[in-house]
Amino acid sequence: MEMPDVEGLIVPPTTPFDESMLVDERALAAHLGFLGEHGVKRILLNGTTAEFFSLMPEERRSLLKVARRNFDGLILYNTASDSLLQSLDTLKWAEAEGADAIVAMLPYYYADAPEEGLLDYLKTLSESTNLPVIFYNFTKHTNNPITRTMLKAVDHFAIKDSSGDFSLIGSTPCYLAGTSSRILEAYKAGAKGFVSSIANFIPETYVRLEELLKSGDFSRVECLQNEINTIRAKMTASNEIAGIKKELSRLIKGYPARVRLPLVE
């Protein structure tokens, strides 16, 4: 199995919706082109920023089809579902549609599930694909944390961790920080890459940050991190996705700022 290069910036694109609130594939293609033109090499499809929770299975599949036609870089694909069977089905067609790696999340809704069951859940996903598997730790939404025990027991390529405490860094081959407000801190602790939602509309800033991190110029990284945090402070945390889309509508002609309920514009 060829391991993908995930060391650096990963952007999770938003999902544009047309006037009928259907996926606007033309706008998505334009957005992916915009990211590529600004040096983005990796994307994470069907993630939180993409409003995957409001998408039908066929819509989630369409995102990957459009991306494979319009983005030349690495495509990570989130298979998250509240059903293991649905996640397995998604995993299989993601392989067929050309995903480069799978991102797997623990089920949501059932809080504090037995660790044995969660462990077997991750094992089932990991053993059901030939693609590299990246676990996605987002306890805020799943109410079931991925633990060191799980990481040591289940074969995986990397973890995207949105917990913000970096305690899992020593238990995984490749740690991807799920927050862009503490990237320098994460790298100093051993992170290899990072996922940033607001890089959707300021990709050049984050591409520069990636370059500085790779060069080891941490003093300049710190200055750029402060600039990024100033921009983030202007975003409304409870409605960040709508804010990102609003910025994209200013940058990309015809890009719609619509979001699906329960989000609001």
CATH code at position 33: 3.20.20.70
pLDDT of 237 > 80? The answer is: no
In a domain, 107, yes or no: yes
* Average pLDDT of the chain to the nearest whole number: 94
Determine the average pLDDT of the residues in 54-78.
Answer: 97
Q: Is residue 26 part of a domain?
A: yes
* Position 1 confidence tier, pLDDT thresholds 50, 70, 90: low
Mean pLDDT to the nearest integer, 75-94: 95
Domain carrying residue 133 = 9-251
240 within domain boundaries: yes
In the predicted structure, residue 44 carries a pLDDT above the cut 90: yes
Kindly tell me if the per-residue pLDDT of 213 is higher than 80: yes
pLDDT at residue 238, rounded to an integer: 77
Q: What does the pLDDT look like over 168-196, one tens digit per residue? A: 999 999 999 998 888 999 999 999 999 99
pLDDT at position 80: 93
Note whether residue 2 is domain-resident.
no
Q: Could you tell me if residue 231 is inside a domain? A: yes
For 85-103, what is each residue's pLDDT tens digit? 999 999 999 999 999 999 9
> Is 170 inside any structural domain?
yes
Per-position DSSP letters for the chain, written without gaps between them:
-PPP--SSEEB-----B-TTSSB-HHHHHHHHHHHHHTT--EEEETSGGGTGGG--HHHHHHHHHHHHHH--SEEEEE---S-HHHHHHHHHHHHHTT-SEEEEE--SSSTT--HHHHHHHHHHHHTT-SS-EEEEE-HHHHS----HHHHHHS--SEEEE-SSS-TTGGGSSSEEES-SSSHHHHHHHT--EEE-SGGGT-HHHHHHHHHHHHHT-HHHHHHHHHHHHHHHHTS-GGGHHHHHHHHHHHHSTT------TTS--
Please tell me the predicted confidence (pLDDT) of residue 161: 96
Our count of domains for the chain comes to: 1
Does any domain span residue 265? no
What pTM value is reported for the model?
0.95
In a domain, 263, yes or no: no
pLDDT at residue 132 tops 80: yes
